[in-house]
Amino acid sequence: MKIYFIRHGETIWNKEKKIQGQSDIPLNEYGRELAYITADALKDIPFDVVYSSPLIRAKETADILVKDRNLEIHTDKRLVEMSFGEGEGESLPEIHAHPEMKLYNFIHNPGIYTPPTDGETFEELYARCKSFIEDIIIPAEKKYDTMLLVGHGALIRGMIHCINHRPSKDFWIVTHKNCAVTICDCIDGKLTLLEEAKIFYHEETQATW
């Protein structure tokens, strides 16, 4: 079975370079455009089953990706973005400029990251990614050939950590732009990364983190 992990399209907070986390921010018009471009690029991929984060930016992206297909979109809370607690809404340029801010290490030194109040640790993110892999992805191999999973930047990085076991210090070795596509195989219960963070649109200035 192949799994296509796709990050949601752009939101106004992406455009304004703000940390989103679990704040429920919808797509902007450009984000919808990216989703339609990506949907067209993947139109010949025969998805059998679709899972999405319940956050509106991911669910709307999933709706666009499967618009003309007779597929139910299953939402799962384990696929929400990593929580940044009271740090959500903070400015990325401010974070980059101030090493004393907690989210500075999330971006620059993830191996020693301590989250803001009410935020998640990497270990908590990995635990729910592993749970989803074990409960949903691996059993699906017996029923389906192709799965679509629509989520978020850090969430997808967490999934890749569970597949490749990269240390947290290498969390951002690859970043996922909006609507970036990552493909994995699941064969005999083992996941293998095939392709990472491919985009299908002409790249404009985009916020990553």
What's the CA angle centered on 115, arms 113 and 121, to 5 degrees?
75
Note down pLDDT in tens along the chain; length 209 residues: 999 999 999 999 999 999 999 999 999 999 999 999 999 999 999 999 999 999 999 999 999 999 989 999 999 999 999 999 999 999 999 999 999 999 999 999 999 999 999 999 999 999 999 999 999 999 999 999 999 999 999 999 999 999 999 899 999 999 999 999 999 999 999 999 999 999 999 886 454 55
What DSSP string runs through 5-45? EEE---BHHHHTTB--TT--PPB-HHHHHHHHHHHHHTTTS
Report the catalytic residues.
8, 81
**Torsion angle of the four alpha carbons 96, 177, 8, 167, in this order, in degrees rounded to the nearest 10:** -70
Contact call for residues 3 and 149 (beta carbons, < 8 A): yes
Domains and CATH numbers, the chain: 2-198 (3.40.50.1240)
pTM attached to this predicted model: 0.95
